[in-house]
A and B are shown apart, each in its own frame.
Chain A
């Protein structure tokens, strides 16, 4: 089966940097996704990693280590609007392309 683990809650200060970790176990790994979800809204895509290394996109970066089953999402220059739930999700070859989501990390950005 598949297992995804990420912290339930995190708190950070405006302007700071925060790292949200995600560990996973699966067979036939086919990619790891990060999504942002504000309360009451649908998730929005942040990043996609399929190879090891760091993917940078503006203030957001995502890292993947397939051998360790580990990823992190790095948010720089935090803004109040970054307060949201951050969802780690994995795709596997043997799962027909569907995404399985972790529990999500609720990030609170304080002034």
Chain B
């Protein structure tokens, strides 16, 4: 099946620094990728939709200047958490569909656990 790779799997950073997380579709092209955040014991909350070649679409309540998303190619989307604070510590997961038109299963990356000290 389709594979989505996410890197890094774990990252620890100091408060105030920025962290970049990469999401790659390894064997298919993804014009759209999705970024989710998951706090402990909670479900996945959609943060934004990453669109290749255009600006990301953010969900209500998600700060676009804090969570910078870049989708420069059909196989790569990046999420940069800027000026990270301890409350940004979470499990960040990207996902993508292999099929166009918004149909078909969503494949997930392995997730990136961010800890901000």
Chain A residues engaging chain B, CB cutoff 8 angstroms: 30-31, 33, 35, 40-45, 48, 87, 89, 91, 93, 96-104
Given the contacts A48-B105, A101-B44, A102-B43, A42 and B111 also touching, CB distance less than 8 Å: yes
Chain A, residue nearest B99 (CB): A97
Q: Across the interface, do A42 and B32 meet the contact criterion of CB distance under 8 Å?
A: no
The prevalent SS among residues of A at the interface is: strand
Q: How many residues in B have their beta carbons less than 8 Å from beta carbons of A?
A: 27
What residues on B are CB-neighbors of A31 within 8 Å? 103
- B17 within 8 Å of A by Cβ? no
- B97 within 8 Å of A by Cβ? yes
Given the contacts A87-B44, A96-B49, A97-B32, A45 and B101 also touching, CB distance less than 8 Å: no
Q: Across the interface, do B103 and A30 meet the contact criterion of CB distance under 8 Å?
A: yes
Give the contacts of B21-55 with A (CB-CB under 8 A). Answer: 32, 34, 36, 42-46, 49
- B57 within 8 Å of A by Cβ? yes
Given the contacts A30-B102, A96-B102, A99-B34, A42 and B43 also touching, CB distance less than 8 Å: no
